[in-house]
Amino acid sequence: DHVWLKLDGNWEKHGDKCYYFSNIYLPWAESRSSCEALGADLVKIDSREEQEFLMRKVTNFETDYFLKGVWIGLTDSEVEGSWIWVDGSPLNQSLTFW
């Protein structure tokens, strides 16, 4: 069985994930809440290819959005310097692509 989704203009499918791109700047916690309200979460980057796709997308925005920054689903808010993805998994330093 396949589920077909019709994505509105802010959503884009890439690989097995769907991404929501917004040009509204919010602090990290508010951005995450906005994602959760859409039934999603901030992105967990799983591969170099995924990171390159995301970098191409955000640098193609025609506003100063990229200059303000973008949020991913990685935080050290609980313990400074201890990076955790939003799904609770720790950052694997051997898989960092930046």
Residues 9-56 pLDDT 10s: 688 889 999 998 887 888 999 999 999 998 999 999 988 899 889 888
Count of domains forming the chain: 1
3 and 18 Cβ atoms separated by less than 8 Å: no
- pTM of the complete model: 0.79
Phi, psi of 71 (to 5 degrees): -105, 140
* Per-residue pLDDT band at 62 (split at 50, 70, 90): low
pLDDT higher for 37 or 95?
37
Domain range spanning residue 90? 28-95
* Per-residue pLDDT band at 2 (split at 50, 70, 90): very low
Residue 67: which CATH number? 3.10.100.10
β-partners of residue 17 are 14
